[in-house]
Amino acid sequence: MAEINRAVKGTNDILPSDSHDWQFVEGKLLDTARLYGFKEIRVPVFEHTEVFLRSVGDTTDVVQKEMYTFEDKGGRSITLRPELTAGVIRSSIENGLVNGALPVKVCYVGGCYRYEKPQAGRLREFHQFGVECMGAAEPTADAEVIALARQLLGSVGIENISLEINSIGCPECRKAYHAALKEYFSSKTDELCTTCCERLERNPMRILDCKSPVCSKIAAEAPVVLDYLCDDCREHFEQVKAHLTAAGIEYTVNPHIVRGLDYYTRTVFEFVSGDIGAQSTVCGGGRYDGLVSQMGGPKVPSLGFAMGLERLMMVLKSQGTELPDAPTCDLYIAPLGEKAALKATKLCADLRSEGYAVETDICSRGLKAQMKFANKISAKYSLVLGDDEIENGKAKLKDMTEGTETEIKIDEIVEELGEAIRARIFKSIAEII
How do residues 265-287 score in pLDDT, each as one tens digit? 999 999 998 776 655 889 999 99
Q: Give me the pLDDT at residue 209, please.
A: 79
Total count of residues recorded for the chain:
433
Is pLDDT of 396 > 90?
yes
Q: Give me the pLDDT at residue 19, please.
A: 95
Q: Which amino acid is at 347?
A: L
Q: Give me the pLDDT at residue 199, please.
A: 84
The second-level CATH assignment, the architecture, of 331-432 is 3-Layer(aba) Sandwich (3.40)
For 3-170+230-319, CATH number out of 3.40.50.150, 3.30.465.10, 3.30.930.10, 3.30.70.1060 equals 3.30.930.10
Positive or negative: CA dihedral 119, 251, 243, 265:
negative
Is pLDDT of 433 > 80?
no
State the maximum Cα–Cα separation within the chain, in Å, rounded to a whole number. 94
Model confidence over 406-418: pLDDT tens digits?
A: 999 999 999 999 9
**By the 8 A CB rule, do 158 and 259 touch?**
no
Residues above pLDDT 90, as percent of the chain: 73
Is pLDDT of 212 > 60?
yes
Residues 6 or more apart whose CB falls under 8 angstroms from that of 168 comprise 174, 205, 225, 257, 258, 259, 264, 265, 266, 268, 286
Strands 302-308 and 39-40: unpaired
pTM (two decimals): 0.89
Is pLDDT of 211 > 90?
no
**By the 8 A CB rule, do 47 and 86 touch?**
yes
* Ramachandran category for residue 355: left, alpha or beta (phi over 0 → left; psi -120 to 50 → alpha): left
d(C-alpha 159, C-alpha 181), whole Å: 36
Band of residue 216 on the pLDDT scale cut at 50, 70, 90: confident
**By the 8 A CB rule, do 181 and 222 touch?**
yes
Is the model more confident about 10 or about 210? 10
**By the 8 A CB rule, do 41 and 87 touch?**
no
Tell me if residue 284 falls in helix, strand or coil. Answer: strand
Asked which of 18-32, 165-179, 187-201, 218-232 is least confident by mean pLDDT, the reply is 187-201
Model confidence over 135-187: pLDDT tens digits?
A: 999 999 999 999 999 999 999 999 889 999 999 999 899 889 889 999 998 88
Model confidence over 325-369: pLDDT tens digits?
A: 999 999 999 999 999 999 999 999 999 999 999 999 999 999 999
| E-state strands within 103-223 | 104-113, 125-134, 161-167
Q: Give me the pLDDT at residue 192, please.
A: 87
**By the 8 A CB rule, do 329 and 400 touch?**
no
Q: Give me the pLDDT at residue 278, please.
A: 58
d(C-alpha 230, C-alpha 113), whole Å: 36
Band of residue 67 on the pLDDT scale cut at 50, 70, 90: very high
Domain with CATH 3.30.930.10 in the chain: 3-170+230-319
Is pLDDT of 25 > 70?
yes
**By the 8 A CB rule, do 409 and 422 touch?**
no
Q: Give me the pLDDT at residue 260, please.
A: 63
Peptide bond connecting 213 to the previous residue in cis, omega within 30 degrees of 0: no
Average pLDDT over residues 397-423: 92
Tell me if residue 128 falls in helix, strand or coil. Answer: strand
* Complete edge-to-edge strand list for the sheet that includes strand 77-80: 46-48, 77-80, 69-71
Residues above pLDDT 70, as percent of the chain: 96
Model confidence over 220-275: pLDDT tens digits?
A: 889 999 999 999 999 999 999 999 999 999 999 999 888 766 788 999 999 998 77
Q: What is the dihedral of CA 235, 146, 135, 62, to 10 degrees?
A: 100
Domain with CATH 3.40.50.800 in the chain: 331-432
**By the 8 A CB rule, do 333 and 370 touch?**
no
Band of residue 202 on the pLDDT scale cut at 50, 70, 90: confident
Is pLDDT of 425 > 90?
no
Q: Give me the pLDDT at residue 432, please.
A: 58
The mean pLDDT of the chain is 92
d(C-alpha 400, C-alpha 194), whole Å: 66
For the beta carbon of residue 11, count every other beta carbon within 10 angstroms.
Answer: 13
